[in-house]
Amino acid sequence: MRTLTLRGGARVAVVAAQWYDAFAVVTRGRVQLELRDGEPGPVLGRDAGFWLRGTGVRALRNPGRRTARVRIVTPRPAPPHASQHPYASCRMTEERHNDGGTT
């Protein structure tokens, strides 16, 4: 599971290859979808879940001043480059959970 953190006013481009099979949930703040033509799309609040596959959304924006967080769930591990992001205003982290097994 990955977490995308967007500072107030931040914008992050949606790269289709990174979001192909991802389901996202807003866990803090609000996130606005930027549509393919650059027009503002819907603003999603806390607990809103969404797929971006096939939607044409080209970016996620934080329309507020407070930090927003989006949890990203994929059925397969994220590629190694997915946690590296060129935007200073957002941060992508990957969380590893202990499933209780032995190593």
pLDDT at position 40: 93
Q: Which residue has the tokens 């393919």?
A: 36
Contact 42, 1 (CB under 8 A): no
Tell me the percentage of the chain whose pLDDT exceeds 70. Answer: 73
Q: Which residue has the higher pLDDT, 82 or 9?
A: 9
pLDDT value, residue 88: 38
**What's the rounded mean pLDDT across residues 65-78?**
85
Question: Of 38-47, 77-86, 90-99, where does the model show the most confidence?
Answer: 38-47
3-state secondary structure of 94: strand
Average pLDDT rounded to a whole number, residues 58-74: 94
Tokens 């549509």 sit at which residue?
35
In this prediction the pTM is 0.71
The alpha helices in the chain, defined as continuous H runs, are 16-19
Mind listing the pLDDT tens digit for each residue in 74-90? 876 655 555 444 333 44
For 82, phi then psi, to 5°, come to -65, -30
